[in-house]
Amino acid sequence: MLNIEGLLVYFPYDYIYPEQYSYMLELKRTLDAKGHGVLEMPSGTGKTISLLSLIVAYQRAFPLEASKLIYCSRTVPEIEKVVEELRKLMEFYSKETGENNNFLALALSSRKNLCIHPEILHANIVVYSYHYLLDPKIADLVSKELAKKSVVVFDEAHNIDNVCIDSMSVNITRRMLDRCHNNVDTLQNTIHKIKETDAAKLKEEYRRLVEGLKEANVARETDIYLANPVLPDEILQEAVPGTIRTAEHFVGFLRRFLEYLKSRLRVQHVVQESAAQFLKDIFEKVCIDRKPLRFCSERLQSLLRTLEIADIADFSAVTLISNFATLVSTYSQGFTIIIEPFEDRTPTIANPVLHFSCMDPSIAIKPVFQRFQSVIITSGTLSPLDIYPRILDFRPVTIASFTMTLARTCLCPLIVGRGNDQVALSSKFETREDFAVIRNYGNLLLEMSAIVPDGIVAFFTSYVYMENIVASWYEQGILENIQRNKLIFIETQDAAETSMALEKYQEACENGRGAILLSVARGKVSEGIDFVHHFGRAVIMFGMPYVYTQSRILKARLEYLRDQFQIRENDFLTFDAMRHAAQCVGRVIRGKTDYGLMIFADKRYARADKRGKLPRWIQEHISDSSLNLTVDEAIQLSKHFLRQMAQPFRREDQLGLSLLTLKQLESEEMLQKITQIAHQT
Amino acid sequence: MRHLFVVIDCSRSMEDQDLKPNRLTSTLKLMEAFIDEYFDQNPISQVGIITTKNKRAEKLTDLTGNPKKHIAALKKAVDTVCLGEPSLYNSLSLAIQTLKHMPGHTSREILIILSSLTTCDPSNIYEIIKTLKSLKIRVSVIGLSAEVRVCTVLTRETGGLYHVILDESHFKELLMLHIKPPPASSSSECSLIRMGFPQHTVASLTDQDAKPSFSMSHLDSSSGPGLSLGGYFCPQCHAKYTELPVECKVCGLTLVSAPHLARSFHHLFPLQPFVESSVEELQGNRFCQACQGELKDKNIFTCPSCHSVFCVECDLFVHDSLHCCPCCIHSQNTPFGVS
């Protein structure tokens, strides 16, 4: 049991890391201040249990201040891990206090469990995926009635801005429009049938429409409901416009809108316009006003309920289109429409797409920040920390970055900027075809494969780049040499192939043959898979993972960030590249007994403005002498590091330094040291 | 009694020059020193050497108690070409083929010196780990490059040790660790072992009964059969041998001498550490019981059973080499109390 500034916290383990204590301290201070927080703590240092222990203790001590904990995670395995830790914590509580606590924790992991709404109201702790809180289409169903005095935690939140943007963006293809057309036909037929059997139902709906929105308004005002970006407050003040009140009129309205969209997709060249221009064009072409568009999604929901449609999934196409209609007509800023007749890489295949792209991540998350008292954004790779408050538009009371206390330095970040022939290494666009650079990269991988045991993970900046390099290596005979040392596996865009490659990679690492996994910096592997212990003894980042800068959507987004938030384009692109790089290399260390090499193979990493954007817990191990190494120098350092790490290292070696017993924690000098771990920005 | 197979990696990676002049030469040299020391400390044990390269494994020397054979083979092996990858699976199964026939009361060990970070196995190595466990064979590994997962699992499952060297002197240290016998598990079988203790007979030409005879140990050597007068005669079949310990070729009896046995047994009955105390506390004459020199150091060591006093150097000598307290033995030999 710990005492953190007066709060009694039950911690279910005998040993604690100093940075866990420090983290809990900052967390408590954030909750005391009733504000939001941005906290960066390296993965594998027990972040989850620290969060849970502290917040549960806070809930018990101040049940009115923090009535609920909403823990948002990205993937189902992560949710399961959280539930495990929670279970342990609850058992510990029962053991220590002797009483059966009446805490209810609820975890939602699949679509089957959506209709649980009354239970959520009573639960003290809810664990689910981000989307249930951020995606406006789902949030309404699940998270509408969550109490205001809740603590929301977004774990592994380094990509939260992309999640926000994706949840508000819509891509419309011709196929989607065809499906929508079918949906609308079905709707029409259903309405016709009901009219014959039960006209009263439709009349009832009509009446409800006039009343129904009033209900939602009252609920919002009295703070019972969470705001929904797809149904902003202004709309609630008004009644549904006459043009779409009756069911048949609404269906006709949908048809006209659909025709308009189909015509827009018949372009021969790229079109980019703002939402306002789009609306003007709609009005000119099909006489559809802005107002009825805004009510589109709500109207559709009501219609589906009235017609008692059981399987909503069948109508996903028309739901999407109606959401699009509402979004485009509601927001004057923050969105852009780009219509492309074909994909850039395949100009001869006609594949028109309408991208309705959200450029402002703060729109989706604004309701969350406004409603809930304390929102904590945490991850292992959140640097540079000050960008998040700017792009998500909120003011945190705490911004802090924590480092790992280590009894032995278990990570070895090296920046390899040159080949042995002194040619500068980079994935810059201009040097991509350079034969010498490719050969040097191949040499680096070859040498590493000879000295690193078990598994190596190599990340490239894009699939195209990876394919080109690997083809080149094959021609130069480098692949053959590498294969004598280790087997090679490669990630592709096909999910099944990648799973198979991953499986075989793990098998090769287990049975001593050793393997290399070639993957891509924004692919599935870099987002989700951990390479603990022998599965990842070294990670090589070939180049800097800049996003494809010629994309029109990206360009629009950068322009918006520059105009609205005064964030320079280069700064944002670098931030995005570095956070992906950090994510990739962070996969390889998951705990203090794990160890790994982190090789940054691009001369640009040595520059202070790029290096400074890496998380603090990686930066502090980059020494000035390892900034611009040649391949040979890096190999020497790596060999030495690996030998050192292979020496026996037991728990006793960590005690007192990076692992503390309760007694050690309470000593004066330890508490002094702990205050220095959190670095405030 | 120990049966140890040493597996030496002869793959491509052994040509690396981080040990001077290259890994293979350095390893073989250290192995020679190891063999000498090993038979010194474990006289009634047997060693065999296996090499592995090019995905195969072959025996360099068979299991035998004769150190000369091993040293000769090691010296010749310096010229081998290092190529290909080693095969852990094949080396282990080759060693298992012989070790599984060894009696249960002896210890079965394999020591692998692995430099490569990859191994080419024809079949799942976890199967063979299960076999090793069931046969109670202990496998230890000394890695020359870095920590490999499969070795960690192998040594952990079979109860052996896994170390990775930092440099050449560390390599030597780690090798010498394996000279001490590993702790015996309580589940090993106990049985009675027949041993012969031949007396050394020395005869000269002037003796009337002296008959020259051939020594059995010279049957294999290329030097001419030596007729000699003295030697050790097996108590069971009277075959002659010039050196001990040896296994009689005629009747299979293990022939040892008493000091050999004593040296093997000191691991089972280790000498207690002596009690350290400051020299001022000593009353009476200040001289060491063993070397009779004056006690000049600050600390003295006292044997807990006979309470004799020793200096630092004698204490070291008694514990490292003698393995018995000289005063205790002396007092045992004279039961009528002359001390």
Same domain, B249 and B291: no
pLDDT of residue A235 exceeding 60:
no
Tokens 């299979």 sit on residue: B252
Side chain identity, residue B22: N
For residue B339, tell me if it sits in a domain.
no
Residues B120 and B219 in one domain: no
Q: Are A253 and A259 in contact (CB under 8 A)?
A: no
Number of folded domains that form chain B:
3
Residue A229 is predicted with a pLDDT of 63
Interior/surface letters A211-233, b for 16+ CB within 10 angstroms, e for the rest = ebbeebbeebeeeebbbbbbbee
Between A300 and B209, the higher pLDDT residue: A300
Using a pLDDT cut of 90, give the percent of chain A over it. Answer: 38
A177 occurs within a structural domain: yes
Residue B339 banded pLDDT, cuts 50, 70, 90: very low
Q: Is the pLDDT of residue A394 over 60?
A: yes
User: For position A397, what pLDDT does the model report?
Assistant: 94
Pick the last residue of a domain from B259, B291, B315. Answer: B259
Q: What is the pLDDT of residue B116?
A: 93
Asked if the C-beta of B173 comes within 8 angstroms of chain A's C-beta atoms, the answer is: no
pLDDT confidence bin for A2, thresholds 50/70/90: confident
pLDDT band of A223, cuts 50, 70, 90: low
Report the chain B residue with the minimal C-alpha distance to residue A532.
Answer: B149
Query: pLDDT exceeding 70 applies to what percent of chain B?
Result: 88
Are residues B245 and B123 both part of a single domain? no
Strand extents, DSSP E, A196-258: none
In a domain, A671, yes or no: no
What pLDDT shows up at residue A345? 65
Measured in angstroms, the CA of B82 and the nearest CA of chain A are apart by 14
> B245: cis peptide before it, omega within 30°?
yes
- The CATH number for B288's domain is 3.30.40.10
> Higher model confidence: residue A111 or residue B50?
B50
Nearest to A402 by CA among A44, A7, A13, A35: A44
Q: Which of residues 299-338 of B touch A (CB under 8 A)?
A: none
Q: Residue B88: which of A450, A512, A537 has the nearest Cβ? A: A512
| pLDDT (0 to 100) of residue A64 | 83
Which CATH number goes with the domain that contains B23?
A: 3.40.50.410
> Are residues A415 and A382 part of one domain?
no
Q: Are residues B305 and B215 in the same domain?
A: no
- The DSSP secondary structure of A372-415, one letter per residue, reads SSEEEEEES---STTHHHHHHT--EEEEEE-----SS--EEEEE
The reply to whether B15 falls in a domain is yes
| Residues facing B146 on adjacent strands | none
- How far is the alpha carbon of B61 from chain A, nearest alpha carbon, in Å? 27
**Structure-model confidence comparison of residues B8 and A304, the more confident one:** B8
Instruction: With a cut of 50, say whether residue A514 has pLDDT above it.
Output: yes
Residues A257 and A293 in one domain: yes
Residue B337 has pLDDT above 50, yes or no: no
Number of structural domains (chain A) is 3
pLDDT of A606: 93
What pLDDT band is residue B338 in, cutting at 50, 70 and 90? Answer: very low
The neighbouring-strand residues paired with B241 are B232
Q: Which of A206-220, B8-22, B194-208 has the lowest mean pLDDT?
A: A206-220
Residue-wise pLDDT tens digits, A649-676: 877 777 877 888 888 877 877 777 777 7
- If asked whether residues B156 and B301 sit together in one domain, one would say no
d(CA A550, CA A556): 11
Q: A452 falls in which pLDDT band (50, 70, 90)?
A: very high
Residue B326 has pLDDT above 90, yes or no: no
B329 located within any domain: yes
Question: Quick one: pLDDT at residue B306?
Answer: 83
- Higher confidence at residue A639 or residue A343? A639
Inter-chain touch A514–B18, beta carbons under 8 Å: no
Nearby residues of A609 by Cβ (< 8 Å), 6 or more positions away: A574
Same domain, A152 and A199: no
Beta bridge pairs of residue B195 = B254
CB–CB of A514 and B166 under 8 A?
Answer: no
Per-residue pLDDT tens digits for A249-282 = 888 989 999 999 999 888 888 889 988 899 999 8
**Residue B24 is assigned to a structural domain of this protein:** yes
B160 and B219 housed in the same domain: no
pLDDT at A589: 87
Minimum mean pLDDT among A166-175, A348-357, A497-506, B193-202: which range? Answer: B193-202
Task: Look at residues A565, A491, A557, A564 and name the one whose alpha carbon lies nearest to residue A528.
Answer: A491
pLDDT at A119: 66
Is residue B184 in a domain? no
Give A-chain residues touching B148 at CB under 8 angstroms: 453-454, 512, 514, 534
Query: Strand B195-196 and strand B231-233: pairing?
Result: unpaired
On whether both B12 and B139 belong to a single domain, the answer is yes
Q: Which residues of B touch A639 (CB under 8 A)?
A: 18, 145-146
CA–CA gap between residue B31 and residue B35 (Å, rounded): 6
Give the model's pLDDT for residue B225: 59
Confidence of residue B149 (pLDDT cuts 50, 70, 90): very high
Same domain, B22 and B133: yes
Distance of alpha carbon A41 from alpha carbon A616, whole angstroms:
9
In a domain, residue A634? The reply is yes
Task: Say if residue B39 is in the same domain as residue B98.
Answer: yes
pLDDT at A66 exceeding the cut of 60: yes
Q: How many residues does chain B have?
A: 339
Give the range of the structural domain holding residue B27, as residue numbers without chain letter.
2-179
Instruction: Look at residue B264 and tell me if it is in a domain.
Output: no
Angstrom distances, CA of residue B89 to CA of A421, A445, B53: 40, 27, 12
- The region that residue A637 occupies, defined by phi over 0 for left and psi between -120 and 50 for alpha, beta otherwise, is alpha
Same-domain check for residues B71 and B160? yes
Q: What pLDDT band is residue A228 in, cutting at 50, 70 and 90?
A: low
Q: How far apart are the first and last CA of chain A?
A: 30
Are A394 and A423 members of one domain?
no
Residue A591 lies in a domain: yes
The pLDDT tens digits for A317-336 are 898 898 899 888 888 888 99
Do B28 and B82 belong together in one domain?
Answer: yes
Quick check: A451 and B165 CB within 8 A?
Answer: no
- Residues A355-383 have a mean pLDDT of 89
Checking ipTM against 0.95, whether it exceeds it is no
- Is the pLDDT at A457 greater than 90? The verdict is yes
Top-confidence residue, A377 or A230:
A377
- The verdict on residue A28 lying in a domain is yes
| Structural domain contains residue B189 | no
Q: What is the pLDDT of residue A371?
A: 85
Same domain for A508 and A597, yes or no, is yes
pLDDT tens per residue across span A132-149: 888 776 776 666 667 778
| Tens-place pLDDT, residues B127-136 | 999 999 999 9
- B85 CA to chain A: closest CA distance, Å? 8
Single-letter amino acid, residue B57: A
Q: Given the DSSP bridges, would you call strands B46-53 and B56-64 parallel, antiparallel or unpaired?
A: antiparallel
Residue A440, pLDDT above cutoff 60: yes
- Nearest CA to CA, how far is B116 from chain A (Å)? 8
- Provide the pLDDT for residue A373: 87
Q: Is residue A655 part of a domain?
A: no
> Is the confidence at residue A407, as pLDDT, over 80?
yes
**Does residue B279 lie within any of the structural domains?**
yes
Question: Could you tell me if A324 and A432 lie in one domain?
Answer: no
Q: Is there a domain that residue A660 lies in?
A: no
pLDDT of B107 over the 60 cut: yes
A647 CB within 8 Å of a chain B CB: yes
* Top mean-pLDDT range of A339-353, A412-426, B261-275, B319-333: A412-426
Question: What is the average pLDDT score of chain B?
Answer: 84
Residues A278 and A377 placed together within one structural domain of the fold: no
Instruction: Judge if A108 and A202 occupy the same domain.
Output: no
Residues A182 and A319 in one domain: yes
Q: Of A94-98, A184-188, A583-587, B15-19, which gets the smallest average pLDDT?
A: A94-98
User: In the prediction, which pLDDT does A31 show?
Assistant: 92
- pLDDT in the model for residue B333: 60
pLDDT beyond 50 at A73: yes
A512/B146 CB distance under 8 A: no
Please provide the DSSP assignment of A432-498 as one string.
TT-HHHHHHHHHHHHHHHHHS-SEEEEEES-HHHHHHHHHHHHHHTHHHHHHHHSEEEE--S-HHHH
CATH code of A113's domain: 3.40.50.300
Mean pLDDT of chain A: 85
Smallest Cα distance from B63 to chain A, Å = 28
Q: Does the CB of A488 have a partner CB in chain B at under 8 Å?
A: no
Percent helix, strand, coil in chain A, to 5, is 55, 15, 30
Residue A518 lies in a domain: yes
pLDDT of residue A212: 59
Is A238 in contact with A330 (CB distance < 8 Å)?
Answer: no
Lowest mean pLDDT among A60-64, A304-308, A401-405, B163-167: A304-308
Structural domain range at position A112: 2-157+373-401
- Which residues in chain B are closer than 8 Å to A642, comparing Cβ atoms? 145-147
- Looking at the structure, tell me whether residues B139 and B282 fall in a common domain: no
Size of interface A-B (CB pairs under 8 A): 72
